[in-house]
């Protein structure tokens, strides 16, 4: 059965009793820190070339493909709400936007299957955040992925500041510095997800899909 929340975001309730992850969900839901994370090196050679050839922001180019890969990897659309599991039809982006003065602000960007429309909306959001002050918290709800860019660091691992008293099951994806070696461009990508909703296998599916999209496949 589908239900609609106050923002008209369609979601379907998962029957936990018949779910093949029932035991995993109940086990990891009890953890004080139920998130686990991995960092992978993404080959962005072709993606970088294609973005520049199309006169597009590389940040928005790889952000869009990460969001598309997440929407096509079902567990990334799961959220825990009042101890129940729901699958959202669409998940959107809540990325941090860096400003020229060294601060950043939170933002909200709707996913759109039309890539050009996504860029158009995203550019407007970025301009608003960069011209504002403070964090500007986005009212985004549960069906988002928290994105952040750390383009100054070629990190091999990354952790997140979290309030453990605040219920949160949204994936967190961070992008690092692009490095060039022998003509190949790579970028570290950190992925943190709720273990009650998915395992390393599912993160692997996401990474495989994301890399394929960055390769233009």
Instruction: Give the residue numbers marked as catalytic.
Output: 195
Residue with token string 């973005």: 51
- Give the integer Cα–Cα distance in Å for 197 and 24: 8
Q: Looking at 44-149, which runs of residues are DSSP E strands?
A: 78-81, 84-88, 92-98, 104-106, 144-149
DSSP state of 54: T
Q: Which of 6, 3, 138, 19 is nearest to 74 (CA)?
A: 19
First to last CA, the chain: 34
Report the SS3 class of residue 198: coil
């Amino acid at each position: 059965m589908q239900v609609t929340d106050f923002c008209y975001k369609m979601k379907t309730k998962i029957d936990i009793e018949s779910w093949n992850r029932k035991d995993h969900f109940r086990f990891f839901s009890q953890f004080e820190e139920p998130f686990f994370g991995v960092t992978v090196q993404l080959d962005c050679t072709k993606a970088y070339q294609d973005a520049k050839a199309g006169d597009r922001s590389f940040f928005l180019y790889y952000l869009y493909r990460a969001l598309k890969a997440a929407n096509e990897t079902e567990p990334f659309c799961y959220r825990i709400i009042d101890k129940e599991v729901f699958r959202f039809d669409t998940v959107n982006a809540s990325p941090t936007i860096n400003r020229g003065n060294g601060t950043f602000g939170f933002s909200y960007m709707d996913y759109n299957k039309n890539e050009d429309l996504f860029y158009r909306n995203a550019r407007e959001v970025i301009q608003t955040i960069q011209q504002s002050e403070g964090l500007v918290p986005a009212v985004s709800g549960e069906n988002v992925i928290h994105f952040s860019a750390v383009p100054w660091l070629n990190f091999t691992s990354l952790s997140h500041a979290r309030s453990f008293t605040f219920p949160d099951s949204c994936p967190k994806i961070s992008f690092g510095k692009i490095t060039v070696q022998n003509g190949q461009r790579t970028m570290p990508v950190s992925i943190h997800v709720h273990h009650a909703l998915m395992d390393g296998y599912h993160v692997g599916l996401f990474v495989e899909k994301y890399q394929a999209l960055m390769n233009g496949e």
